[in-house]
Structure formats: C-alpha cells, structure tokens
Amino acid sequence: MQFYRLAFLLLFPFVSIAQNNDAETVRKIHEHILSKGMCYEWLTNLCTQYPGRLAGSAADSGAANYTKSVLETLLPDTVYLQECQTLYWERGDTGQIFRVLPDGDLSPIMGLSLGRAGATGPNGITAQVIEVKSLDELERLPDEEVAGKIVFFNRPMDPSFVNTFRAYGGAVDQRVYGPNRAQKKGAAGALVRSMTLRIDNVPHTGVTVFDSGQMKIPAFAVSTKDAERLSKALTEAPVYVYLNSNCKDVGMKPTYNVIAEIRGSEFPDEILLVGGHLDSWDVGQGAHDDGSGCVQAMEVISTLQKMNYKPKRTIRCVLFANEENGLAGGLEYARVSKEKGEFHLAALESDAGGFTPKGFSFEADTSVFKKYYKAVSQFLPTFEGYGLYFEMGGSGADISPLKSQKGLLIGLRPDSQRYFDYHHTTIDTIDAVHERELKLGAAAMTSLIYFLDTYGLGSSTTQNTESGTH
C-alpha cells in the first residue's frame, strides 16, 4: 500500500491541497449525516408501514411507492419505477412441525417453510426422519433409504470462521439445493437447520430451489435449538415428525426497482450507482436485510443534494426488487442498461446489514480490476482515518449482472458478527438496528461516491488534479 501512496504523490503534484479539501468534505459528510441524516426515520417508516416486503406482495408495492415519494422530495433530476416480473409465492396460514413422541403426543418444533417450497396437503404428513450433514452424504444414500422419509439437513455454520459470510456460504447449499435433491431420491419432505451461528429458538427462512416443472416437497427451516434436540433424539431411537403447510406459487406478479439520479455535469455517461434491495422475506420487517441498505443509498442522494454538491458523473440510487427469491430486479435493471448502452463506472451495494461499517470490498472483470483497484487504493488514507479498510472481494447480488460492463463493483462491509442472528427471521425489526451505526454506513458510502465522482478510476477522461471541491 505504501507503493500506491508514493505513486499518488508523484503523479499528482497538487495532492496535498486536494487531500486537505477531500478530508474536509468527508468530515462535512459525516457531520451532516450523523446530526441531520434521515435514514433511520425512513427505515422506521419502511419497516413499520411495509413489513414483510416479499416481491409481488402489497407490502412490496407499497414500499416502492413510499421510497419513490421520499426520493422525489430530495429533488434529483429523475425518479421513476422500473417494472419487472416475479413468481409470487405465498406462505399460507399454516406452518406446523411436531415431533411425534413414542406415546403419541406431539412436541412442537420451531420452524418456517422455506421460500418457494411445496405444501403438504390439508392433512399434513407424518414420516420418519433421517439426518445428513451434506448434499454428498445424501447422494451416497440408496434411494430406497430416502424414499418416503423426511430428510434433515443438519450441517452447522462453521463458528471457527471470523467472517460470518464465509460461514454462511459454507452451509447454505443444503438450504438452497437440499430439498430438491431429497425430492429426486423420493423424500416426502425436508428439514434444514437454520442458517445462524446462534443457538436459539428462532427459525430462519430463505429460498430453496426446485428444478423447473418438478413437484415440490414441503421444506422447513428449523431453529438451531430444535436441530440440536432432533439430532440428539436420532441417536437414541427412530424419530417421526409431522409437517403441515399450505404454501403455494400464485403466479407472475409485477414488482419494481425504484430509481433516482442526479445527472452528471461533465461525464454524464459515467454512472455511479449506489443501492440495496427493497424486498424482504415475509416473516419480519426486513430491517437489516435490506431496508438498511436502501435507506443508506437514499441518504447518499439526500446528503449530496443538501450539501449543494454538483457531481461530474451521474449518481444513481437504485432500490432493487426481488433479490431474495429470484433476482428479477437486478437482472431487469442490467438488461435495460445494456439495451441503452450505458456504462456503470462503479456500482456500490449495501446488503450486509446496518451495523458499524468496517470497510469496502471490490471486484471487477479481470481485464480491468488491477487498474481499478490501484486507482481506488489512492483514496484509502482518508478512509483509514475513519477506521475503514479496502479489500478484494465480492460486492452484491443485485449489481453482479453489471459485471460485463467492466466497471468497478463494490460492497459495503459492516461488522458481520450479529448479522446472521437476524437474517430472514421474525426478529429482523427496526429495534435491531442502531441509528448511529446505520448513519455511519451511509456516511462511508457517501464519502466513497464523492471520491469516485471527483477522481474517477484512472481513465483518460477522468484523470484530474482538481481540489475535490465543486
């Protein structure tokens, strides 16, 4: 990193003046957002008025109209809804899991149907449970040992990983693909240990994927405490479980990306996107996942407008639709953008919770990444002063379809240790979000957008030695 700093000093003779002005601008950004920012108020309204924003639902549509109306008050150049289509899935009014005890009594198990799973029928099903720890273990079982059974996927997230997203990535395949694999071997249903490091009674839903045209079996996430109990019981005797659910696919429904932009004054065809996804699972308020990211992106637009900042490049806020169970919003946005011949110089997504920001991760097409990462590393000294790091790594699901445009893709990286306590649950509510932590994330995002707008990423049209004030 010292090499980049030295190169910066050699390439930019007026850098000390620019850095002083940049530092002052970043200070003002933080001062404004921490004292006058509106993102927590917007998040409170979003969560309490439009909870359970499953794509295609009335809450989802209401949230799109609400955030559009808020963005309009900020007076950007353009605000509009971009319609896309999603398969709408309904949870229904039942979702029961009971362990059938040897004496015939029923012992409740805390669980939630997985998104896009099938139903049991009105009478439910009762079947013997078999436990596996991986998809490979399931595949090794003879079909006759699986047929008619309920397959219980019970691989915990690995607590030894400091990065909780790494732990999540190492376990989530059993939720996404497990029920489909179990059905192919004749299983009657599936249970999946909730994707969380915490041992508690809170089940975590999430999408499960079945092959097109395949019959869907009922599939439930169970709380980690119940997963532990069930696993222990299976070591002692055969275990039978009763499932009852009436969830269903309803059909295609509209959902909406919410888009606002401030047109650039010098390089309007270079787009700087900032966003999150507006939809959430239906069981909570979607506060951390991902109402927080949406209101932080809105705060970027709000802050720049209130500071009378005149961007060189087009700054676009996008609240994406349908990230949770289909990515319809991100795919449609990228399709339309490609059709228009647009170029996103950079896209920044916040979709890791409203916790204290720790840094940013960067990715891009391999043909441009080295150049971009070298350019953005020149901004690091200012961010280090706010306790923020830069690293190579993933960005966000919604912006990933833009990678073919060969711009820089960026993810905000908050403290991740408690994120999976709330992820896809009934307890992902506004009271789980700390106002100051949320605002610090918005300030970090606004600061990075400011630097990207001021200095670009090293192309011939963006090199400059201006002071950073507009």
Question: What is the DSSP secondary-structure string of 400-428?
Answer: GGGGGG--EEEEEEE--TTHHHHTTSTT-
Q: Taking Cα atoms as reference points, which of 295, 296, 293, 302 lies closest to residue 262?
A: 302
Question: What is the predicted pLDDT for the residue at 133?
Answer: 97
Question: What is the predicted pLDDT for the residue at 5?
Answer: 44
Question: What is the predicted pLDDT for the residue at 202?
Answer: 98
Please give the domain boundaries of the chain with CATH numbers for all domains.
Answer: 2-89+252-455 (3.40.630.10), 92-246 (3.50.30.30)
Q: 3-state class of 277 per DSSP?
A: strand
Structure-block tokens of residue 283 = 């069981």
**How many CB atoms are closer than 10 A to CB 459?**
14
Cβ atoms of 275 and 293 within 8 Å: the answer is yes
Structure-block tokens of residue 372 = 């971009």
**Predicted TM-score (pTM) of this structure:** 0.93
**How many CB atoms are closer than 10 A to CB 392?**
10
CA pair distance 89, 280, nearest whole angstrom: 13
* Residue length of the chain: 470
Q: What's the Cα-to-Cα distance from 429 to each of 288, 296, 368, 413, 421, rounded to whole Å?
A: 8, 16, 40, 20, 12
Amino acid in the structure at residue 291: G
Hey, which residues does 193 pair with through a beta bridge?
222
Question: What is the predicted pLDDT for the residue at 94?
Answer: 81
Structure-block tokens of residue 211 = 């092959």
Question: What is the predicted pLDDT for the residue at 95?
Answer: 87
Question: What is the predicted pLDDT for the residue at 466?
Answer: 38
H or E, element range at 243: strand 240-245
Question: What is the predicted pLDDT for the residue at 18?
Answer: 57
Please list the pLDDT of the chain residue by residue as tens digits (470 residues): 444 444 444 444 434 445 679 999 999 999 999 999 999 999 999 999 999 999 999 999 999 999 999 999 999 999 999 999 999 999 998 889 999 999 989 999 999 999 999 999 999 999 999 999 999 999 999 999 999 999 999 999 999 999 999 999 999 999 999 999 999 999 999 999 999 999 999 999 999 999 988 889 999 999 999 999 999 999 999 999 999 999 999 999 999 999 999 999 999 999 999 999 999 999 999 999 999 999 999 999 999 999 999 999 999 999 999 999 999 999 999 999 999 999 999 999 999 999 999 999 999 999 999 999 999 999 999 999 999 999 999 999 999 999 999 999 999 999 999 999 999 999 999 999 999 999 999 999 999 999 999 999 985 333 333 333 33
Pairing mode, strands 313-320 and 248-262: antiparallel
Pairing mode, strands 111-113 and 267-277: unpaired
* Omega cis (within 30) before 365: no
Question: What is the predicted pLDDT for the residue at 434?
Answer: 98
**How many CB atoms are closer than 10 A to CB 449?**
27
Task: Classify residue 365 as exposed, middle or buried by CB count within 10 Å of its CB (0-12, 13-18, 19+).
Answer: middle
Question: What is the predicted pLDDT for the residue at 1?
Answer: 46
Question: What is the predicted pLDDT for the residue at 459?
Answer: 52
Pairing mode, strands 240-245 and 125-132: antiparallel
CA pair distance 423, 444, nearest whole angstrom: 23
Main-chain phi, psi angles of 167, to 5 degrees: -65, -40
Write out the DSSP string of 43-94: HHHHHHHS-S--TTSHHHHHHHHHHHHHHHHT--SEEEEEEEEEEEEE--S-
Question: What is the predicted pLDDT for the residue at 10?
Answer: 41
Question: What is the predicted pLDDT for the residue at 74?
Answer: 97
Cβ atoms of 190 and 181 within 8 Å: the answer is no
Structure-block tokens of residue 78 = 């353009």
What phi-psi label fits residue 376: left (phi over 0), alpha (psi between -120 and 50 degrees) or beta? alpha
CA pair distance 397, 412, nearest whole angstrom: 12
Question: What is the predicted pLDDT for the residue at 469?
Answer: 35
Pairing mode, strands 248-262 and 78-90: antiparallel
Cβ atoms of 467 and 18 within 8 Å: the answer is yes
Question: What is the predicted pLDDT for the residue at 4?
Answer: 42
Question: What is the predicted pLDDT for the residue at 19?
Answer: 65
Q: What's the Cα-to-Cα distance from 326 to each of 246, 339, 398, rounded to whole Å?
A: 21, 21, 10
